[in-house]
Amino acid sequence: MGRGSRDGRCGVTTPATTPAGEPLDLYDAPAVTLSTDSVDLGEVTVVPSGVGTYVADVVFPTAGTWRLQVSVRVDEFTSPVTVIDLPVG
């Protein structure tokens, strides 16, 4: 999911797959937000890095458990949302 460095920078990868594990060609790039109880980075920019895979370069200002919220637009009307706990530090 991520690759980190000592200064808080991390590459966050958001793969989108079918239930069978195949890459999903999305209607639009996913909307990704990052937050903790005390810090809200808001929406982060993601860029495609392959079919169904998007990456973002993020600087985490604090260690701890971050909430990674991903909204995936699979068609014009459907955007399921998932939240993942992302340990940083």
Mean pLDDT by 10 residues, the chain (89 residues): 52 80 83 95 92 88 93 87 90
Q: Are the CB atoms for 36 and 46 separated by under 8 Å? A: no
Domains and CATH numbers, the chain: 2-88 (2.60.40.10)
Distance CA 55, CA 48 (A): 6
Tell me how far the alpha carbon of residue 39 is from its chain's centroid.
16
What pLDDT does residue 5 have? Answer: 44
pTM greater than 0.75: yes
Structure confidence at residue 24 (pLDDT): 79
Locate the DSSP E strands across 16-59: 31-35, 40-44, 47-50, 53-59
Q: What is the pLDDT of residue 42?
A: 96
